Structure 1
Amino acid sequence: MLITDKTGLYTAFKAKDARFDGRFFVAISSTGIYCRPVCRAKQPKIENCTFYATAAEAEQAGYRPCLLCRPELAPGMSITDATVTLAHRAARMLEENCGSGQRLDELAIRLGCTDRHLRRVFMAEYNVSPVQYLQTCRLLSAKNLLTDTNLSVLNVAMVAGFGSLRRFNDLFKKHYNLAPTVLRKRISERKKHDSNITLALGYRPPYQWQQILNFLAQRAIKGVEIVKDGQYLRTVHLVNADQQHIYGWVRVGHKPKQDVLTVTISETLLPVLSQVLARVRHLFDLYCDPYAVYETLAPMNNIRAGLCVLGIRLPGCFNAFEMAVRAVLGQQITVKASSTLAARLVEHYGTPLQTGVEGLTHVFPSPENILALDGLIENHFGPLGIIASRVRTIFELAQALVYGKIDFGFCAQPEVEIKKLMAIRGIGSWTAQYIAMRTMAWTDAFLETDVGVKKALEPYTSKQLLSMAEAWRPWRSYATINLWNSL
């Protein structure tokens, strides 16, 4: 779907096709603004249009964001689309940490390269420096907060990562020819009287919301997660840049007519807002291009009609350790039974939390919490009904995370981390691939020995399934989810 010539890009812009949303931005010389390709404003002439790969590139060229289509809501690019380049991994990390004040050299260390090399590859990919990209992330985050919340301008500046109100005002006026207070006046009366902090995150339609909600509901951990009234709610525990522990709750809903998910957070989570939004994007797979996935997997419907559905998303996770423990507990037992064990674990060793939301009572125990328990770990978890071998696996998993032996982040190399996971006693191929699929957004896991996969594709053997799935690369994780949904 990559288009490089101006005529092709203009045709895509004219069509308002949501498949191109977030893949390029259109700068219009006659107005000085830049838009998403789905913008419904009056169509400009082609000679007035310049096309850019990112919002940051458009802003560095002197354009300001459209107030109608709101470029800050555009969906991002999937790492698979980007062939897993260093630049795209860096961009994800900049988006997640734009509010933390993280320095470029610190980012480079996490990515395993020098800051000089990072600047070089980033500029080659995006035509802007990492610092310029980060600045645009912060400006667009601030614009989103000014538009959709009633936070004070000072709080917006701090949450977006600017460090000072003066710097925020200067940059906002310079880039957007508009003072933050002027934009704030555009907020409706309804927003002014709304005490909730609710933001929108865009995606590329179609989005099979009910399917991913059903998946999460079946695996929800009592006290930590709830799915009700068409929304997903959960408790949150994150650590900010100053190593402070931040607690709160988040609620995610769906507005299909606007092609966005709504994210409502407790005010306590403002210091880690960029982290929360990044994890919601990951959990609900908002970087996905559903047509790219469907193009490869559509032949599944030749096996059985309806086996592959356009718009299915790959459920990620919000808390990697929580998800990994849940996967270990679920080995060789039913989904319901593993949920029961996870709920017991939370009730006895989770951190109690006052949320004001019925059913959200605890945060899942951290790996540090597990390692801090006195005596043998079996003496703690055994009475909960967790067998000894699973207990030891969970303990070793906690050790690996605390000591940095395993990386569950989206910058990790899944194949490498899978080998590390399988070196832990009690973690086999199925569990390792499932953990990689959900914690690292690995799109190419295929669980040929899974009971559900085998049932959906009877009477094929595991060996035949593995051979068949070769045609589904690099989207075999999506194939797995489709097969589960078909049951």
Structure 2
Amino acid sequence: MELDPDTCYKAVASHDRRFDGRFFVGVSSTGVYCRPICAVRTPKRENCTFYETAAAAEKHGFRPCLRCRPELAPGHGLADISGRLAQAAATLIDEGFMAGAGVAQLAARIGVTERHLRRLFDAEFGVSVHEYAQTQKLLLAKRLLTDTALPVTEVALAAGFGSVRRFNDVLKERYGLTPLAMRKRAADGMADRLVFELGYRPPMAWGALLGFLAVRAVDGIEQCDGEVYSRTLSIEAGGRCHAGCVRLEHVARRAVLRITLSGALAPVIPQALGKVRRLCDLGCRPDIVDAHLGELAARTPGMRLPGAFDGFEIGVRAIVGQVIPVVQARRILARLAQVAGEPLPEAAQAGLTTPAGQAPLTHAFPTAQALAALPDEAYRAAGVTAAKTRTIRALARSVAAHEIDLDPHAPPEVTVAQLRAIDGIGDWTAQYVAMRALGWPDAFPGTDYALRKVLGVDTVRGMQAKTAGWAPWRAYAAIHLWHRYEALKLQGSDIEEQAA
């Protein structure tokens, strides 16, 4: 991304949230770098230099601002940067991949050579892979010291440092502070729990996002209570499975989501926060998407593309939900979770309150390995047909064998083709998985009944003609259309008449 200094300075002077996370400003008079929305007095233009990433600012000798906290800035969406592979690598680094791996393993994970990854990364971010990873580890450690009461040893390990001594040395060298000094500055009001804030670029249609998730919430795994979404999750790291719960609350006045994690998830904080970012599409640029969709987005500005905590889970949900009502699909998925999902440890359930009329959070969603091995009678007891059982098992085996990758860094065209090659998975299912599991902004399940009804279109060719102008944001268009369809149903309106 080419940064125009004059445009950047205007954004800094106006504290424009649309640019939050798009660049950082280094201030030579203070030696710190800030987000464009920093509330401090606007620095003089001649003292400002602008950087695309926090890593680039630190490479040039700047320290992170303790007031605006650059580690809280929203990230990039997958379609924001021309180098999708470089962004995929950066996302994996953000989520702690390099805590136990090197550049070669990272390159293999996204399917390129190490040399090619280094070239891509330097071209997109202006820093090396190692420089970017070091900055992300330090910013995560800074966040953990500021926002949690975790012991320094746990902070060092969670951030990916091999030892406390190494952590102390790097922190002192880069930021001029020891861990205890940094914690002392942030000690006031610090609670003994894992609570974080993740920023986004407003507006955000939180009510619409929550409504989408609530309609599809699976008992035992998810809860929606008023303005709060909670669910279970299980993350494998370091040869261990870490299971717990996550709670999401919207703080609109500050343009952040407040995230509360179970203490059992302390070793996998970056991975858990990464899943939240994907689920809520926090890297979205609503100014770009809404402007492109025009009138379609005007009714609900800031609509997000609901992502996934786990791509395989979305695949199973899509298969189970084929040609049956959402309510029936939810019941089947809840029964599958009970028989094949890992029960939540009692410690992870401590302090959880179950909203009235909702089931408690008890199980993680079944893994690919668990559903691949689940016997036919267990599928039948859960209400899964024989045909869907074969399809789920085929997908589970492919994912477990690493033949199909359902993470956001996977190439969407290739993955959609792999999914459609599985008996029982058609275009609707493959496109739905591409939307939510891969976060692909141009995926569009054009055969969907609700989409056809609300658009008043009966043919595939007609659907293509009707939606062509929304590319490359057709997945967002689909979410808007589903939202409109549900609203029209609630109003008792004639959907076809409204579409016309």
Secondary structure in 2 matching 1:51? strand
Alignment of 1:427 with 2:425, yes or no, is yes
Residue 272 (structure 1) aligns with: 268
Is the 1:346–1:365 Cα contact (8 Å) retained in structure 2?
A: yes
Q: What whole-Å deviation, never above 9, does each CA across 1:79-135 have from its counterpart, x for those lacking one?
A: 211134322221111111257322111101112222222222211221111001000
Alignment of 1:208 with 2:199, yes or no, is no
The 1:326/1:459 distance shift into structure 2, 3 A limit, reads closer
The alpha carbon displacement at 1:382 in A equals: 1.2
The alpha carbon displacement at 1:11 in A equals: 1.2
Could you tell me which of 288, 302, 323 is aligned with 1:311? Answer: 302
Could you tell me which of 248, 251, 256 is aligned with 2:247? Answer: 251
User: Which letter does structure 2 place at the counterpart of 1:329?
Assistant: V
TM-score if structure 2 supplies the norm length? 0.92
Q: How does 1:131-280 map to 2 (within 5 A)?
A: 131-191=130-190, 194-240=191-237, 242-280=238-276
User: Which letter does structure 1 place at the counterpart of 2:300?
Assistant: V
Secondary structure in 2 matching 1:338? helix
Q: Which residues of structure 2 form unaligned runs of 5+? A: 355-359, 486-500
Q: What whole-Å deviation, never above 9, does each CA across 1:298-320 have from its counterpart, x for those lacking one?
A: 1437xxxx5x5220000001022
Residue 398 (structure 1) aligns with: 396
Bigger mean CA offset, 331-340 vs 89-98: 89-98
Could you tell me which of 420, 426, 441 is aligned with 1:443? Answer: 441
Residue 323 (structure 1) aligns with: 314
Is the 2:96–2:159 Cα contact (8 Å) retained in structure 1?
A: no
Q: What whole-Å deviation, never above 9, does each CA across 1:225-271 have from its counterpart, x for those lacking one?
A: 1111411111111110x221111111111111111111111111111
Separation in 1, partners of 2:327, 2:99:
38
The 1:208/1:299 distance shift into structure 2, 3 A limit, reads closer
The alpha carbon displacement at 1:163 in A equals: 1.4
Residue 346 (structure 1) aligns with: 337
Residue 337 (structure 1) aligns with: 328
The alpha carbon displacement at 1:158 in A equals: 1.2
Q: Identical aligned pairs, as a percentage? A: 45
Q: What whole-Å deviation, never above 9, does each CA across 1:376-434 have from its counterpart, x for those lacking one?
A: x3322112221111111111010110111111111111111111111111110001100
Residue 373 (structure 2) aligns with: 372
Separation in 1, partners of 2:407, 2:302:
24
Is the 2:97–2:106 Cα contact (8 Å) retained in structure 1?
A: no
The alpha carbon displacement at 1:188 in A equals: 4.6
The 1:298/1:3 distance shift into structure 2, 3 A limit, reads farther
Residue 58 (structure 1) aligns with: 57
The alpha carbon displacement at 1:280 in A equals: 0.8
The 1:84/1:220 distance shift into structure 2, 3 A limit, reads farther
Residue 78 (structure 1) aligns with: 77
User: Which letter does structure 2 place at the counterpart of 1:176?
Assistant: Y
Could you tell me which of 265, 286, 291 is aligned with 1:295? Answer: 291
TM-score if structure 1 supplies the norm length? 0.94
Secondary structure in 1 matching 2:212? helix
The alpha carbon displacement at 1:170 in A equals: 1.3
Is the 1:213–1:230 Cα contact (8 Å) retained in structure 2?
A: yes
The 1:398/1:239 distance shift into structure 2, 3 A limit, reads same
Is the 1:72–1:140 Cα contact (8 Å) retained in structure 2?
A: yes
Bigger mean CA offset, 63-72 vs 167-176: 167-176
Separation in 2, partners of 1:25, 1:107:
26
Is the 2:83–2:120 Cα contact (8 Å) retained in structure 1?
A: no
Separation in 2, partners of 1:190, 1:50:
34
Secondary structure in 2 matching 1:276? helix
Residue 387 (structure 1) aligns with: 385
Is the 1:98–1:160 Cα contact (8 Å) retained in structure 2?
A: no
Bigger mean CA offset, 178-187 vs 55-64: 178-187
Q: What whole-Å deviation, never above 9, does each CA across 1:6-32 have from its counterpart, x for those lacking one?
A: 222111211211111111100000000
Alignment of 1:15 with 2:11, yes or no, is no
Q: Which residues of structure 1 form unaligned runs of 5+? A: none
Residue 498 (structure 2) aligns with: none
Is the 2:319–2:425 Cα contact (8 Å) retained in structure 1?
A: yes
Secondary structure in 1 matching 2:314? helix
Residue 467 (structure 2) aligns with: 469
Residue 492 (structure 2) aligns with: none
User: Which letter does structure 2 place at the counterpart of 1:31?
Assistant: T
Separation in 1, partners of 2:290, 2:226:
29
Separation in 1, partners of 2:265, 2:18:
32
Residue 30 (structure 1) aligns with: 29
Is the 1:14–1:43 Cα contact (8 Å) retained in structure 2?
A: yes
Bigger mean CA offset, 417-426 vs 151-160: 151-160
Separation in 2, partners of 1:202, 1:470:
32
User: Which letter does structure 2 place at the counterpart of 1:45?
Assistant: K
Secondary structure in 1 matching 2:242? strand
Displaced runs of 4 or more, over 4 A: 459-462
Is the 1:74–1:201 Cα contact (8 Å) retained in structure 2?
A: yes
Separation in 2, partners of 1:297, 1:84:
24
Residue 488 (structure 2) aligns with: none
Bigger mean CA offset, 24-33 vs 252-261: 252-261
User: Which letter does structure 2 place at the counterpart of 1:351?
Assistant: E
Separation in 2, partners of 1:217, 1:263:
18
Secondary structure in 1 matching 2:3? coil
Is the 1:99–1:273 Cα contact (8 Å) retained in structure 2?
A: no
Q: What whole-Å deviation, never above 9, does each CA across 1:323-365 have from its counterpart, x for those lacking one?
A: 2111111000111110011011112222222323341111121
Is the 1:328–1:390 Cα contact (8 Å) retained in structure 2?
A: yes
Is the 1:291–1:310 Cα contact (8 Å) retained in structure 2?
A: no
User: Which letter does structure 2 place at the counterpart of 1:216?
Assistant: L
User: Which letter does structure 2 place at the counterpart of 1:273?
Assistant: I
